[in-house]
Structure 1
Amino acid sequence: MSTAPAQGYRDDHLHLLACAAARRSTDVQAAASVGELLDIVGHAARSSAVPTMLHGRQPRAERDRGDSRRWLRAWGYDDALLAERRHPTAAELDAVTHDVPTVLHHVTGHVAVVNTAAGHALGLTSGDVLVERHDLLATVPQVDRSATVAGVAEVLADMAAAGITACTDATHTNDLGALELLAEAADRVPSVDVTAMVGADRLDALGDLAFGERLPSPGAAAGAAGVRVGHAKVMPPHDDDGAIADLVAAARAHGFPVAVHVMDIDTLQATLDAVEAHPPMPAGMATSDDRRLGPGRLAPDRIEHCALALPEQLDRVARLGVAVVTQPSFVTRRAQKYREQLSLTEQAWLWPLASLLRRGIRVTLSSDAPTVPADPGEWIAAATGRDLAPAERIDAETARRLCMGGGAGC
């Protein structure tokens, strides 16, 4: 990895709680097939070192029957990269985990598979793959708060060692409680400046806490950095881009710019329509979470990922003044998936970089950790050496600059 410059790198899209959780999970990223994945999970289920998630919140079914069994959390598979090109099934998990409640998380964090024991505890009646069911997964037993804070602090310490001096947690389920937890962890690693987004559907719970303000950790000493309140994160409900406009409108009502999760052309179109229908408030009416913008200027809305975009959509992004925070590692790590699932024309529109910069759009590179490591050296290598859509390559110096907070133009 390249040596970080004095001002340090930024990772402006990652998920700190998920990073901490991944570290205490059984890692299945190395599995190349469903069979290999099941071997890893089965070994963990039989092991006395099963990562426990029993402490903290428990599903009602667990509390009612006083069940003391440990839960197994596994993480890191990608169905598109397994030999069978599919998700494992609940029945396959049952065969290797038996009565150990098991949750198997996709590398993206947006999909999970549970075995029958876990499904019963969560109130499920089928072995369906859980897509965007964060409401259910939130009831899985968790480690206690002190362990979670310590885990996040370890993640931040490793980022600091890698030359990252600022980061933005882009988790759409963040609420006031999550911000307080992150603030406590951030106070333990003051060398990393932490900003945390808040779910656009959870802004009411912030009370008087405004965009751009600092939230100290509970009981922190005077002068503790805590965490800065970032954008309102808009995660379109699964297969329902129509909800984006309402979430953007809710963010505007609270004085927040938005950061919208965009992975395809249709979602990008709905996002641009929503931003145009609900424009940001005039500059000076809110504080910025980015001091480099200068006092009195509102931070721009953000598109998170921008995985696939038509040229005319990028023109519109530029006209609306929306920034893009993207992850070049995806185009190299998932090249096989894209070649199999996308046409040659679509491949040319993948994860644009040079096209964004030519239009003067503000761009920042990031990781989406734990999906991709928080390693700016990898982002730079991917941005400069990608094989898919090579016309979107950028030079190393530009890529390095985009790892330090972004910029517009070449």
Structure 2
Amino acid sequence: MKRILLNGKIFTGEKFVSAMEITDDHVSWLGDSRSARLRHADEVVNLNGRLSLPSFWDVHTHPLWISETLGSIACTPPNVASIEEMIKALRNSSQVGKKDAWIEGWGYDESKLAEGRTPTLADLDKVSTTQPVYVLRSDCHSCVVNSVALKLAGITADTPNPVGGMIGHFANGEPNGVMLENGASKLIKEVKEKDTFENLVNQTLRLTTHYRQRGIGVISDMISLVEPYDYAKIYAEAARRGLLQDVYLYYSIDEIKRLKLSCLPRSSHPRIHVAGIKLFMDGTISNQTARVKKPYKNATTTGFAINTVEDLKFAYEFAKANECQIAIHAMGDAAIQLILDTYGNLEPWLMNRPSVRIEHATILDDKLLKQFHDAKMNFAFVTQIIFLYAEYASYFQNLDEKRLKQCYPLASMLQSGVPTALSSDAPATAWIKPDDVFASLACAVTRVGANGEDLNHNEAIDFITAFSLYTKSAAGMVPTDKTAMLTVGQSADLIVLSQDLFVTSPEKWQETTIEKMYLRGTEIKEEIEVQDGRNY
């Protein structure tokens, strides 16, 4: 099969051409439209001058969580700006009145709510006192539930705090429905999530259309699980039935320890890749649980430590034995420093990709960046400028001016020489479209927040550099031979845009839509037909 695209403005990642030939799944020729070998083509596509780019790679995201939010209520700006609006929105859920159904929402950030506080079960009981109500916080670490959900989870005033989390309480000692960090949220999820394998596969199939709308061709699931169903099997079955994106899996270190695994699960599908392991060193800036060196502004707390040096050493030995990557959630400078101090002088075990990825890497000063550059270990940063764009109010509330300027310092990160990529961490962002790549690109270029805030303009980067952080640099973060560029011999993965980002103001980039998308040389339609299949 030969397909020729012509009369376009095709940016390969290195240069511009007006025509491209695709043979089967790969790019076989690049050049001028007048030189295109039309008589050899099975199909000719006129791009009508549209800008075409390599498709995006989102190498830190949570696809199965996204598939859950597709059927739940967005409790995030610009839709919801108060607890009262949250209650109203949840009352309009399609699940209201359905027996045994959970009423679910996602995306709240207390700093963005008019009341200036976290909602509690007293608020969510106004949604329902007969059905469980669950709202995931924007960071996807914490949640708030109503009294019905607490009862189903068996949580009372006497329930101890779990490892890696805290249960919120009213002044009288009774639980208030706020579940801080993953350890506590897990108590609710264990009751709520009772999906069958078949339902999870069907839920996963919805992702092809979602990512087609975003122009994303490659994704990573950053908290992959083994039980109750192995994510490698869920994604493999979904790929057999119609999921078209490549997927890289990073398994939770907690699962590995709990199940006493000596090796990682294996994938049975060529587009589903087991890449590494994931662990958490701290929480988030927005709720003061990220581990920082100095107390938060107007506070005495320095955050929330989750895994320890011993956990880092365990991860190191496991990753070396399995020749896989370690991806570590670390937002605060104290958490980041601990990783550097533990791994910095150790020999890397992977040469064709980073051995250790630091996810988020939020607060970085010049000294810390130089230490990472000088380290023996081959580190990399996978960061999310969308956080600062969407959640600036909470960062401003929690950090002094000096540390605020050190948040997501893209220009400095790149100048340090440490490999860096951009990603979304969706849906863990207080924004209605958390994995809108165009929002991240615009913020990286302008360093202007959602409400016009200056996000330290000294850390702005140019568009081509920002674009490479979502393509070429992102591909360098995972085990692959692909370059995420449209060069001869590479996979023909590209998107055709509704407007030209090179001439359009960044303020208008979020208006961009994906007119066409090709993965492995085949056009991906907006609505995907998937195949039915038996239970795995």
TM-score in same-fold range (> 0.5): yes
Query: For 1:6 and 1:310, how far apart are their aligned partners in 2?
Result: 33
Query: For 1:247 and 1:257, how far apart are their aligned partners in 2?
Result: 15
Q: Which amino acid in structure 2 is aligned with residue 260 of structure 1?
A: I
Q: Is 2:403 aligned against 1:346?
A: yes
Aligned 8 A contact 1:149 1:182 in 2: yes
Residue 155 (structure 1) aligned to one of 199, 207, 226 = 207
Report the equivalent of 2:426: 369
Secondary structure of 2:203's partner? Answer: helix
Report the equivalent of 2:60: 13
Aligned 8 A contact 1:14 1:370 in 2: yes
Q: How does 1:180-259 map to 2 (within 5 A)?
A: 180-189=233-242, 191-203=244-256, 205=259, 209-210=263-264, 215-216=267-268, 224-236=269-281, 241=305, 243-254=307-318, 255=320, 256-259=324-327
Report the equivalent of 1:274: 342
Secondary structure of 1:140's partner? Answer: helix
1:195-224 deviations in whole A, cap 9, x for unaligned?
A: 0101123336595755xx8501xxxxxxx3
Query: For 1:281 and 1:206, how far apart are their aligned partners in 2?
Result: 24
1:31-52 deviations in whole A, cap 9, x for unaligned?
A: 11111112222343xx6x4397
Residue 139 (structure 1) aligned to one of 171, 179, 190 = 190
Aligned 8 A contact 1:214 1:226 in 2: no
1:263-312 deviations in whole A, cap 9, x for unaligned?
A: 111111122122237x35544xxxxxxxxxxxx64533111011112221
TM-score normalised over the length of structure 2: 0.63
Query: For 2:226 and 2:384, how far apart are their aligned partners in 1?
Result: 21
Report the equivalent of 2:354: 299
Aligned 8 A contact 1:241 1:270 in 2: no
Aligned 8 A contact 2:337 2:368 in 1: yes
TM-score normalised over the length of structure 1: 0.81
Change in CA separation of 1:207 and 1:241 when aligned onto 2, cut-off 3 Å: closer
Aligned 8 A contact 1:329 1:378 in 2: yes
| Root-mean-square deviation (Å) | 2.7
Report the equivalent of 2:508: none
- Unmatched 5+ stretches in structure 2: 1-10, 12-49, 157-174, 284-302, 448-453, 477-536
Aligned 8 A contact 2:61 2:423 in 1: yes
Secondary structure of 1:109's partner? Answer: coil
Report the equivalent of 1:261: 329
Aligned 8 A contact 2:63 2:221 in 1: yes
Report the equivalent of 2:96: 50
Report the equivalent of 1:169: 221
Report the equivalent of 1:89: 120
Report the equivalent of 1:74: 105
Higher mean Cα deviation, 201-210 or 161-170? 201-210
Aligned 8 A contact 1:20 1:148 in 2: no
Aligned 8 A contact 2:147 2:177 in 1: no
Query: For 2:55 and 2:148, how far apart are their aligned partners in 1?
Result: 46
Q: Which amino acid in structure 1 is aligned with residue 187 of structure 2?
A: L
Q: Which amino acid in structure 2 is aligned with residue 41 of structure 1?
A: L
Change in CA separation of 1:39 and 1:169 when aligned onto 2, cut-off 3 Å: same
1:62-108 deviations in whole A, cap 9, x for unaligned?
A: xxxxxx53221221211111112211111121133112111111122
Report the equivalent of 1:55: none
Query: For 1:194 and 1:51, how far apart are their aligned partners in 2?
Result: 36
What percent identity do the matched residue pairs reach?
26
Query: For 1:106 and 1:69, how far apart are their aligned partners in 2?
Result: 23
**How far does residue 234 in structure 1 lie from its aligned partner after superposition?**
1.0
Q: Is 2:80 aligned against 1:31?
A: yes
Secondary structure of 1:127's partner? Answer: strand
Aligned 8 A contact 1:383 1:394 in 2: yes
Aligned 8 A contact 1:251 1:257 in 2: no
Higher mean Cα deviation, 85-94 or 12-21? 85-94
1:89-130 deviations in whole A, cap 9, x for unaligned?
A: 111211331121111111221111111111011011122410
Q: Is 2:363 aligned against 1:311?
A: no
Report the equivalent of 2:473: 406
Higher mean Cα deviation, 201-210 or 230-239? 201-210
Secondary structure of 1:98's partner? Answer: coil
**How far does residue 146 in structure 1 lie from its aligned partner after superposition?**
2.2
Q: Is 2:92 aligned against 1:40?
A: no
Q: Is 2:441 aligned against 1:380?
A: yes
Query: For 1:263 and 1:115, how far apart are their aligned partners in 2?
Result: 29
